[in-house]
Structure 1
Amino acid sequence: MGTTGQRYVSEVNGAMEQGRSGVRRILAALRLTVVSGVIGAALAALVVGVILKDVPVLATGGGVLVLLVLLAFLGGRRGAGRDEPPALRTALARIEDLRATGGETADVPVTFRLTVAPEPEDERPAYRVKISQSINLVDIPAYRPRGIAVVEYHPEKPWDVRIVTRPTPEWSRRAEEAEIDSAPESTLARDPDGGTGAWCLLVLVGLLAGAALVVLSFRGELFVSGDAGDGPAKPSSSSRTFSTSTTVSGPSSSLLTFGRMRVTAMELEARVETAYVTSVTIEDHRMAVRGDSALPPAETVHLQSLPYELFPGLVREARTTLGVRDPESWRIDVTPGTGGGVGPRVRVTVSGEEGTAHLDADAAGRVTDRRAVEVS
């Protein structure tokens, strides 16, 4: 088969692989949305069951959550029993471009654009890839545009490429003697699962949709329960202030664990008998709320409307991007917005030897402001 035929076969195989990858992504998105919806419905069923004192609803929500945990455990064990992933392959790569993105430490993050040339036995044509890797300041002069570097890549994930900073003498010799032509930009390999923001949005939408479905199903009972309680009716002019907190303990009880914040918020909501509060404070093992029943809803924070699933990501970003190299503590403070349709304000504060820094986010988890540690 000639060169043209080989190129045609490679293009056909690449198109088929992209098609299969697209189908897998659609199926994964559907599965993630359904599972998130079921989790949201189960959590909402727990809250509704507590409010209405409905044991069947409470048992159903708890049973679904236990079943999901069991299925996740069995799936993890099955995944652990699979064959080991194929070993990384070593190859040469042409450095098309590089750009340092920081310089505060000895290891500098550098963005590389490479043309990877797999070995002939891999039967894969050369392709482009964009990676980010930390390189020691001393070694940066060794990497230059149009230079040759030794890399390792995953045979089933061609976008997973890392530069070998200390290659063997044999590969070093081959890199010095090799000449690699640039691959077309159209061959750029991308991670099909790289859009983590889209996956997080799917999880959030699924959780909210599942919870809304359950709440709407019991809206009649909930409204009646709120209008005609067991105790005497309270005058509309009466008000009360409240403050309560809860502490979680155990080796894996951090509130950064997925789902732990929302469950804890539900517990606090049941304790204070309202979802409208004036402040929420979250630390690693403690959550506290304050409120005043005399305030209108527009001047409060609704506990179940907060994007708890996005808070761990905000904490991680604050701990790694604000100049606090070894954070000793973190705290999330949620307060009502300033009015005019502005939602609650979320502030993440981290502290360490360098000082205290914080970032602000809106009710959707988008960062709106940063205040890094001031370097003297």
Structure 2
Amino acid sequence: MAIIETRKSSAGARFRAAVGGFLGGGVIGIALAGFVVGGILERPLVVAIGVGLFVLDVVVVSVAGRIHRARNPRGPALPALAVIESRRAIGGESANVPVEFVLTVAPDERAAYRVETSQDINLVDIPDYRPRGVIVVEYRRDEPWDVKILTSPPGEWARRAATESVDSAPESALVAGPKAEGAFCLLATAGLLLGAAAVVLFFRADLFEQDDRPSTVSSSSSTTTTDSHSSSSTTSTSTVTGTATSGSMLDNGEMRRAAGSLITGMHTGIASEFSIDEHVMAVRGIRGTPPQPGAVIDLNALPYERLPALVREAQTKLGISDPTSWRITFDPDAATGTLTIRVTVTDSAGKASLEADAQGKVTKRNPR
């Protein structure tokens, strides 16, 4: 039967360690999820909170570790003779090969004992570590399982290893370090997962808003940049295009939702061109100062809730018997800044249209 020597720990200490692992894992989970979610939602504050919590956790763990080491200092490493009971190389493709040893360690001040250890040994030196060979190791009184083979021992100890013999300890004298705390690792992992899940649930409305809708949004980065110069200032304008697709833009609230997605994706609510048809909303946005302020469309100010009614009126009251498609375009007047909303419907025989003002009130009908 193997004798396992471990540091004694009270039930209270184990409980505190388990709670600490759970809370530490939870903080790490919140920090990582906050960093990721904040990046996805483009919320710098959430990212900063995630990074701050991660740094705080690292600092707390580091300080706690230093305090623990100060209260429980490790004993000094002491030399001792040892005999190799067995060895087994466990692989490696470099010059240093990891080797598992079973040793009998024979300290001068205590009874001999067995220990299992592994250490990287240079491939050229492996023949020097044959079974029953006597070597010099370092061990600690308070941690006898912590054994290191000295490849270059001091002169006196090298002489002793060459001239003295060491009797094998019985297998029952095998010592081992404390086993890994499986419950601690499990609680830390559970805390990490719960912390991350809490952040995702808190922001679920923003994260999964797109999943509840049939539309998708795509936009390009800036396409062109123009500079206009005057005697007193320089302004820069860039354009960006975007599209949103939907099963039907006539669904209740779909136009406003798709427009909001485009505004968010393009980082601008000002456009020079804007059109909507049954399945696609397309826009050419403007970033910066427009070269012609009057010839722009404010996407945030459009009467999206009135547009489906305009489409239905155009389909039924302009002489189109069997409409096959429709399109809404927005035409700003550069001189007056007046916006005209134009709805065009088409069937196999041709087109018809109506016009409305910026509030969605019909101002002109162009029947077939």
* TM-score scaled by length of structure 2: 0.46
| Higher normalized strand content (fraction of residues) | 2
* TM-score scaled by length of structure 1: 0.45
| Bigger Cα Rg | 2
| Higher normalized helix content (fraction of residues) | 1
